[in-house]
Amino acid sequence: MNEKFESYLKDLSPELQEKARQCKTKEDLNVFLADNDLELPEEALKMVAGGCTTSHCEHNFIEIERIDMVPTFGSNGPVGHAIHYNGMQVQNIKTNQCSKCSELHYYVLTFPNADKYVNQNSIISYKEISAAEYNSLKAQKTW
């Protein structure tokens, strides 16, 4: 870790600072942050091994995980409950990873609830979210 990264840790307890320093990759740090309900700016995350630390990386993102979040229907009705993000129902979440530098990006795809008015000009597309938001949505899936 470098001095600039250390400046982001200064407000954490000594115990949490030590745990953050033990993270070897950006993914490890994202899990640590989510588990402890903490956030760091993207700039700090990029200073960890596995993050893109150079502007010279010509990212080649590939999808490494996609999770369908829409409840399925069984003979007795829906299996599971609808999961929401910003007032819209989540269709799926996905993780993309750069095949060159291993940088991770998390996304959510939502669609309007059928009972709410929707602006016909709105475009439904993937929205980038934080690792903590991604992990929170993923934890809500129970089916």
State how far Cα 62 lies from the chain centre: 15
Place of tokens 């999808």: 63
Same domain, 28 and 82: no
Mean predicted lDDT score pLDDT of the chain: 79
Same domain, 75 and 143: yes
Same domain, 79 and 136: yes
CA distance 49 to 117: 45
- Residue 64, pLDDT score: 95
Final residue belonging to a domain, choices 29, 51, 73: 51
**8-41 per-position pLDDT tens digit:** 788 888 898 888 888 777 777 888 888 888 877 7
- Residue 68, pLDDT score: 93
Q: Which stretch, 13-27, 70-84, 87-101, has highest mean pLDDT?
A: 87-101
Neighbour tally for 60: CB within 10 Å: 10
- Residue 53, pLDDT score: 47
pLDDT band at 46 (very low <50, low <70, confident <90, very high): low
Same domain, 136 and 88: yes
Q: Provide the domain limits for residue 47.
A: 1-51
pLDDT at 73 over 60: yes
Q: How many domains does the chain have?
A: 2
What Rg do the C-alpha atoms of the chain give, in angstroms?
A: 18
Same domain, 93 and 112: yes
